[in-house]
Structure 1
Amino acid sequence: MALNATVHNFTVQVADVDRGVYEDLSLRLARHPSETAEFMLTRLLAYCLEYEEGITFSEGGVSSTDEPAVLVRDLTGRVTAWIEVGAPDAERVHRGSKLAGRAAVYTHRDPAKVLAQFAGKRIHRAEEIPLYSFDRAFVDAAAAAIERRNTVTLSVTERLMYLDLNGISLSAPVEEHRLG
């Protein structure tokens, strides 16, 4: 018997001072049985930190082989941003970078290990693709606070992230690396 995804609801207030984005979001994330809370949290943070008109979670979620975790489409339906989460393989990032005008990777894993898996691989415009990573203690503490219904306040200034998740307040830098 197949296990069903668990739906988590997030009411999010985003104040990204660095990009001038201020939004109130109501999001539903389906957590696949094979998905960790840390991965789901990273998907949520990637969505919020990349928020712009046309952003969506992929329809297949973590089980999708054709789409990234998060993507942005313009009004014509063309993909303009390909946002991977976790430790995607180089071929997916290469394909996404060629397809979209912009690509990025967000990870809750050790960034040195994620970058090492891309070494020597062909990735379109690798030097332009950022890898954003979050401190492991920050991710663990925030993931432990996730419930089925969540209230989140996320503020970003000078790439320092302040997160309040269900009354638990945390902060951490958003570290940026480049794939190439």
Structure 2
Amino acid sequence: MALKATIYKAQINLADMDRHVYADIGVTIARHPSETDERMMVRVLALALGWPADTNEGTLELAKDMWEPDEPALWHKNYSDEILHWVEVGQPDDKRLMKAAGRARRVSLWAFQSSTPIWWDGIANKLTRAQNLTVWQLPSEQTQALAAFAQRSMQLQVSVQDGTAWVSDGTTSIEVVPQRLMGPD
């Protein structure tokens, strides 16, 4: 018998002062049995950090990357089903990222493992043609601390200023400082 997803719900209050994006985001997360708290919370953070300023063409949504190999962790599709933003989490191979760069207007990758520098050294030269790809590294000690926020029902505040994200659950705050490894500003 196959294992089923565990359902999590998050209410995110976003105040991104760098991009002037302010939103209340409600999201239901179907967590794959093999997904860790850390990876799930990185997906939630990526959702907040990638939330579109203009939602007239839809919003960023959690996709089925661990269930469906042709889907990313998150994506923003417009009402014509065109992929505006493809978001990956972790350390995918170069072929997956190049395929995504060909399918979407914009691609973001959020790498968070402590082995990211070694992985990036081996893959960076293979991605130079992907002009629409932005790669971010999240410090693993910060994402591990973020994993402690994983609850079946979450109320999170995400504030972004000067490239730094502050994530709070109302009791504890964690500073997350993404480092851009590649991509346009």
| TM-score, normalising length: structure 2 | 0.88
> Runs ≥4 in structure 1, deviation > 4 angstroms?
none
What is the DSSP-based 3-state SS (H/G/I as helix, E as strand, rest coil) of the residue aligned with 2:30?
strand
8 Å Cα contact 1:161/1:171 also seen in 2: yes
1:115 equivalenced with 2:126 (yes/no)? no
Match of 1:141 in 2: 145
Work out the number of aligned pairs and report it. 178
Match of 1:167 in 2: 171
Give the alignment partner of residue 77 of structure 2, picking from 64, 73, 78.
73
Query: What is the Cα deviation at residue 44 of structure 1?
Result: 0.8
Query: What is the Cα deviation at residue 166 of structure 1?
Result: 5.1
| TM-score, normalising length: structure 1 | 0.91
CA 1:3 to 1:166, structure 2 compared with 1: closer, same or farther past 3 Å?
farther
Query: What is the Cα deviation at residue 120 of structure 1?
Result: 4.3
Q: Tell me the amino acid that sits aligned with residue 168 of structure 1.
A: T
Structure 1 residue runs without a partner (length 5+): none
1:41 equivalenced with 2:63 (yes/no)? no
8 Å Cα contact 1:146/1:165 also seen in 2: no
Structure 2 residue runs without a partner (length 5+): none
Query: What is the Cα deviation at residue 127 of structure 1?
Result: 5.2
**Root-mean-square deviation over aligned CA pairs:** 1.9
8 Å Cα contact 2:101/2:132 also seen in 1: no
**Percentage of matched positions with identical amino acids:** 28
Match of 2:15 in 1: 15
CA 1:70 to 1:117, structure 2 compared with 1: closer, same or farther past 3 Å?
farther
What is the DSSP-based 3-state SS (H/G/I as helix, E as strand, rest coil) of the residue aligned with 1:22?
strand
Query: What is the Cα deviation at residue 130 of structure 1?
Result: 1.7
1:132 equivalenced with 2:139 (yes/no)? no
How far apart, in 2, do the equivalents of 1:120 and 1:174 lie? 21
How far apart, in 2, do the equivalents of 1:119 and 1:11 lie? 35
How far apart, in 1, do the equivalents of 2:75 and 2:90 lie? 15
Q: Tell me the amino acid that sits aligned with residue 66 of structure 1.
A: D
Q: Tell me the amino acid that sits aligned with residue 33 of structure 1.
A: P
